[in-house]
Chains A and B, each alone.
Chain A
Amino acid sequence: MNHLLEFSHVHNLRERCARWSSAACTIIGLFVLGLGVASGAVAQTTQSPAKTTKPATTTAKPGQPLGAPVKAYGSKGAPITMEVFSDYECPSCRNLFENTLRPMINDYVASGKVYLIHRDFPLPMHKYGYEAARWANAAARVGEFQSVEAALYDNQDAWAANGDIAKYVSGAMSAAEFQRVQKLMAGCAATASASIPSPQIIRVAQASQSCAFDTFIEADRAIGNRIPVQATPTYVFTYKGQHLPAGSGIVSWPILKQFFDSLLAQ
Chain B
Amino acid sequence: MTSNSRSGWGRILLIVCRLALAAIFIYAAYAKMKPQGGLPWSLASVRTSLSMFAMGVDSYQMLPQWAVSPFAHCLPPFELVLGLWLLTGVALRVSSLVATLAVSVFFTAMASAYERGLTISCGCFGPGEQIGPKRLIEEGLILLPLALAVTIGAFLIHRKRAASASETPTGEAAR
Q: B-contacting residues of A (Cβ < 8 Å)?
A: 1, 3-4, 6-7, 11, 18-19, 21-22, 25-26, 28-30, 32-33, 36-44, 46-48, 230-231, 237, 239, 242-252, 254-256, 258-259, 261-263, 265-266
Contact = CB atoms under 8 A, between A and B. Distances in A.
B37 A4 contact: no
A259 B51 contact: yes
* Residue among A30, A239, A242, A249 with max Cβ neighbours from chain B (10 Å): A249
Contacts, number: 150
Nearest to A256: B55
A250 B88 CA distance: 39
Given A18-B91, A254-B65, A255-B65, A245 B38 contact: no
A266 B169 contact: no
Interface of B: 33-48, 50-52, 54-56, 58-59, 61, 65, 68-69, 77, 80-81, 83-85, 88, 90-91, 94-95, 118-121, 126-128, 130, 165, 168-170, 172-173
Given A6-B169, A22-B94, A43-B41, 4 more contacts: A25-B81, A33-B81, A36-B41, A37-B43
Contacts of B42: 37, 40
Contacts of B127: 245-247
Given A44-B35, A242-B37, A249-B119, A38 B69 contact: no
B123 to A, nearest CB: 9
A42 B155 CA distance: 40
Given A3-B173, A255-B69, A259-B51, A244 B37 contact: yes
Contact of B91 (A19, A230, A248): A19
Contacts of A249: 59, 118-121
A3 B69 contact: no
The 3 A-B pairs at the shortest CB distance, nearest first, are namely A231-B119, A249-B59, A249-B120
A37 B61 CA distance: 29
15 contacts: A7-B165, A18-B91, A22-B91, A22-B94, A25-B81, A30-B81, A247-B59, A248-B59, A254-B65, A255-B68, A256-B55, A259-B54, A262-B44, A263-B48, A265-B44
A44 B69 contact: no
Nearest to A255: B58
A248 B121 contact: yes
B36 A247 contact: no
Nearest to A38: B43
A7 B167 CA distance: 11
B36 A244 contact: yes
B98 to A, nearest CB: 11
B80 A29 contact: yes
